[in-house]
Chain A
Amino acid sequence: MKEQLEAIRKGALEAIAAAQETAGLEALRVKYLGKKGELTAVLKQMGGLSAELRPVMGQLANDVRASLETAIERQSGILSQKALEARLAAEAVDVTIPGKKPPMGHKHPMYSVLDEMKEIFLNMGFEIMDGPEIEQADYNFTKLNAPENHPSRDWTDTFYLTEDSSVLLRSQTSPMQIRAMEGYGVPIRMISAGRVYRKDEVDATHSPMFHQIEGLVVDKGITMADLKGTLNAVIREIYGPETVTRFRPHHFPFTEPSCEVDIQCYKCGGKGCPTCKGEGWIEILGAGMVHPKVLRGCGIDPEEYSGFAFGMGLERLALGRYKISDMRLIFENDIRFLEQF
Chain B
Amino acid sequence: MNRYLLPLIAVIIMIPILVMGLRVDPSKLPSQFIGKAVPEFDLPTLKNGFRNFASTDLVGQVALLNIWATWCVGCRAEHEFLMELYRAQTIPIYAINWRDNRGNSIRWLQQFGDPYVVSAFDEDGRVGIDWGVYGAPETFLISAQGTVVYRFTGPLNRSIWEREFVPRIAALTE
Task: Report if A and B associate in a common complex.
Answer: no
